[in-house]
């Protein structure tokens, strides 16, 4: 069945030579020791394409509760491993009061979980009407509460009806923090949770980064990257994955359209900025990109502004001597070509000259090259002399 290796991980895009998107050349603020890619960078791999349709699970999701009865029930067990004994009809899974909690088969560490749930009509007449919950990593005591909170209003003070403690309301991280606001609907109406969870990172029993959870409740953010409090000992062998279950507190709570997308841990992003970046890894990736770009460079091509810009792009990633030599070569070739052009030919170079002026200005400001290079001065001279104008963008 499903597991932490169910194949839903975001595809790791191979950093091998691929056809680039867009024209060669400098495209905005260059990479540095914290970012392997430039701004608006054509060299940066694109994410995998998925299909997302309103009201349906994304194409890369593990469907936990869908329209198929056998498949849905097979996705669950009770805590003892026995088959789930809840009721299912027309895509709706309803808790059987006599049955234990429903455990989803498999284990996950980082995920997006979509849950549509409904408390039964009339449960508002009970003190703890419609009590259930989404429990993440059983034993670690992470729970997103499900209950009828439609009557709860902080402005009522002591008259606030059940649940009469804030961190026990729907949308709460149970026992830890209440929801930021209460967007609860009435019993008998469908409600939604979108839960984004990242498991804690442990190293030899030492907590490096706490588990976090964000919850969007009926389209409203109610938990904003909350750092979950650890109330139990570290997991064995620093294990990060765990199960998920839906609580049975003896109420006829229903579920439909439940799906999960496995996510990559945030600290796996160690080359694109953020708190986990590794400068050595960033530099290695920049060198790899420079080598790929240099392989695209054709020194036999006719001299042009575009070819100069192409070599300038390479040195944004690496100042290796062979790349600097290519820049010098193309600058000299294009400069010599400009010297031989008449006005008509120069007019045809207007866009390229304006582009190079923008690029040179940026690279000087970012300390990639020194100011006052001969071709840079020539571009500025011709633009001023012939009053060349035009809007030029980085991309």
* Rounded distance between C-alpha atoms, residue 195 and residue 346, angstroms: 59
Q: What was the pLDDT predicted at 125?
A: 77
* Whole-angstrom distance, CA of residue 257 vs CA of residue 91: 8
Q: Please compute the mean of the pLDDT values over residues 368-393 and round it to a whole number.
A: 95
Whose CA is closest to 392, among 366, 353, 365, 338? 353
Range 163-175 average pLDDT: 91
> What's the rounded Cα separation, in Å, for the pair 316 and 369?
9
User: What tokens does 208 get?
Assistant: 């490096």
pLDDT of residue 155: 75
Q: What whole-number distance in Å separates Cα of residue 120 and Cα of residue 67?
A: 20
Query: 216-267, pLDDT tens digit by residue?
Result: 999 999 999 999 999 899 999 999 999 999 999 889 999 999 999 999 998 8
| C-beta separation of 267 from 281 below 8 A | no
> What three-state secondary structure class fits 3?
coil
CA distance 247 to 62: 20
> Which of 168, 137, 108 lies closest to 230 in space, CA to CA?
137
Handedness of CA 109, 114, 118, 123 (dihedral sign): positive
Looking at per-residue confidence, does 164 or 45 come out higher? 45
8 A C-beta contact, residue 145 and residue 215: no
Tens-digit pLDDT profile for residues 22-33: 789 998 899 999
The answer on pLDDT for 284 being more than 50 is yes
Instruction: Using the predicted structure, report yes or no on whether residue 379 has a pLDDT greater than 90.
Output: yes
Query: Residue 358's pLDDT band (boundaries 50, 70, 90)?
Result: very high
Q: Give the best-scoring range by mean pLDDT among 90-104, 148-162, 335-349.
A: 335-349
Paired sense of beta strands 132-136 and 244-246, if any:
antiparallel
Whether the bond between 163 and the residue before it is cis, its omega within 30 degrees of 0, is: yes
Quick one: tokens of 236?
């064995």
The string of DSSP letters for 129-172 reads TT-EEEEESTTS-EEEEES--TT--GGGGGG--SS-SGGGSTTS
The model's confidence at residue 7, banded by pLDDT at 50, 70 and 90, is very low
State how far the Cα of 391 lies from the Cα of 395, in Å rounded to an integer: 12
User: Has residue 81 got a pLDDT over 90?
Assistant: yes
The confidence band for 159, taking pLDDT boundaries of 50, 70 and 90, is low
Which of 88-97, 131-140, 266-275 is predicted least confidently? 266-275
Please answer whether residues 286 and 317 qualify as being in contact, where contact means their C-beta atoms are separated by less than 8 angstroms: yes
Percent of the chain whose predicted confidence (pLDDT) is above 70 = 93
Instruction: Give the model's confidence band at 311: pLDDT under 50 very low, under 70 low, under 90 confident, else very high.
Output: very high
Residue 214 near residue 142, CB atoms below 8 Å: no
């Amino acid at each position: 069945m499903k597991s932490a290796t169910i194949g839903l991980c975001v595809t790791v895009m191979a950093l091998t030579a691929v056809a680039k998107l867009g024209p060669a050349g400098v495209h905005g603020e260059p990479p540095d020791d914290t970012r392997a890619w430039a701004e608006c960078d054509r060299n940066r791999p694109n994410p995998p394409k998925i299909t997302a349709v309103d009201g349906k699970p994304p194409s890369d999701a593990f469907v936990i509760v869908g329209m198929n009865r056998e498949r849905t029930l097979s996705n669950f067990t009770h805590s003892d491993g026995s088959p789930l004994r809840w009721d299912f009809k027309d895509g709706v899974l309803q808790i059987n009061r006599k049955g234990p909690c429903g455990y989803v088969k498999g284990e996950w560490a980082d995920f997006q979980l979509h849950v549509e749930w409904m408390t039964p009509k009339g449960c508002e007449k009970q003190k703890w009407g419609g009590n259930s919950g989404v429990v993440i990593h059983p034993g670690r005591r992470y729970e997103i509460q499900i209950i009828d909170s439609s009557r709860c209003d902080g402005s009522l003070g002591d008259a606030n009806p059940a649940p009469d403690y804030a961190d026990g309301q729907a949308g709460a991280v149970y026992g830890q923090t209440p929801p930021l606001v209460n967007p609860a609907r009435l019993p008998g109406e469908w409600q939604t949770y979108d839960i984004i969870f990242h498991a804690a990172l442990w190293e030899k029993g030492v907590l490096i980064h706490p588990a976090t959870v964000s919850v969007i409740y009926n389209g409203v953010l109610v938990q904003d990257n909350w750092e979950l409090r650890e109330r139990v000992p570290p997991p064995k062998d620093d294990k990060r994955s765990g199960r998920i279950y839906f609580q049975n507190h003896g109420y006829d709570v229903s579920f439909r359209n439940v799906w999960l997308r496995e996510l990559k841990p945030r600290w796996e992003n160690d080359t694109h900025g953020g708190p986990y970046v590794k400068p050595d890894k960033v530099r290695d990736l920049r060198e790899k990109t420079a080598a790929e770009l240099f392989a695209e460079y054709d020194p036999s091509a006719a001299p042009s502004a575009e070819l100069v810009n192409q070599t300038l792009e390479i040195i944004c990633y690496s100042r290796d001597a062979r790349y600097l030599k290519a820049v010098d070569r193309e600058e000299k070739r294009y400069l010599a070509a400009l010297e031989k052009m008449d006005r008509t030919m120069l007019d045809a170079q207007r866009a390229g000259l304006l582009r190079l002026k923008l690029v040179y200005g940026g690279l000087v400001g970012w300390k990639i090259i020194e100011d006052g290079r001969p071709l840079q001065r020539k571009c500025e001279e011709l633009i001023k002399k012939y009053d060349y104008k035009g809007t030029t963008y980085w991309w």
